[in-house]
Amino acid sequence: MDKSRDELPEHCRISIVGITDIQDIMGGKWKYLIVTILYFSGKLRFLDLKRQINKIAPKVLSKELKDLEMNNLVTRTVCDTKPITVEYELTSLGRSLNTVIEAMGDWGINYRNAILKK
């Protein structure tokens, strides 16, 4: 028998709302990786961030950074240098993803190890 969302326990409904929000904000192939690199590296210039993510196109990286900035997870600072450089870093809200980042990294390694044992 299928349950409607209204029949689910309240804590489950609340979790679904939170998961839906994070999917909307962090969805896509690259955002978690960008946030993880900025979390462990601190401030990075665009090209340095691009070098850390081998297969991402500059246009895609730019779009993902704009989305993260729009959602107040990343700040963009234009430096007064010649040539002009732009630095990105996590906001305090972005840094609050630390437990999520570390848990996902741990889970990913455990999953990889379990699959490789087969």
CATH code of the domain in which 86 resides: 1.10.10.10
Rounded to whole angstroms, how far apart are CA atoms 1 and 112? Answer: 35
Provide the CA 107 distance to its chain's centre, in angstroms. 16
- Position 5 in a domain: no
Residue 7 lies inside a defined structural domain of this protein: no
Task: Report the distance separating Cα 108 and Cα 86, nearest Å.
Answer: 31
**107 located within any domain:** yes
pLDDT digits (tens, 9 = 90+) for 1-41: 466 667 889 999 899 999 999 999 999 899 999 999 999 99
In this prediction, residue 117 has a pLDDT band, given cuts at 50, 70 and 90, of: confident
* Residue 96 located in a structural domain: yes
pTM: 0.86
How sure is the predictor about 58, in pLDDT bands with cuts at 50, 70 and 90?
very high
How far apart (Å, rounded) are the C-alpha atoms in residues 14 and 78? 39
Name the residue range of residue 107's domain: 29-117
Is residue 17 situated within a structural domain?
Answer: no
Total tally of structural domains belonging to the chain: 1
Does the pLDDT of residue 87 top 70, yes or no? yes
